[in-house]
Amino acid sequence: MPQKATKDGKPYIVSVQAGKAKADQRSQGFTIVAISTFASQEDFNYYDTQCAAHLELRTFAKSVNEGVAMIYFENEVL
């Protein structure tokens, strides 16, 4: 998906990591984890509201999932 996600004709997602969650009580039943990293709040806002590739992914995810937890954070570890 990162290759399909473009803004002004250029890729704009810094990185994407995804994988299966390890069986553990902390996963609270979630089975897939994804982390998307953006260079700016502006890029995240574009991804969240205007990106056609993200809309396609969200549409697919809604058809196969039974719940979602989305968490926005900024790294504060130096």
Domain boundaries, the chain: 6-64
Q: Could you tell me the maximum CA-CA distance found in the chain, to the nearest angstrom?
A: 42
Any residues with CB less than 8 A from the CB of 30 and at least 6 apart, and which?
Answer: 21, 67, 69
Q: What percent of the chain has pLDDT over 70?
A: 100
- State pTM to two decimals: 0.80
For residue 27, give every residue at least 6 positions away whose Cβ sits within 8 Å of its Cβ, in sequence order, or none: 21
pLDDT value at 65 more than 90: no
Q: What is the mean pLDDT of the chain?
A: 90
Contact 36, 16 (CB under 8 A): yes
Each residue's pLDDT tens digit, 18-53: 999 998 898 888 888 999 999 999 999 999 999 999
Per-residue pLDDT, averaged over 6-11, amounts to 93
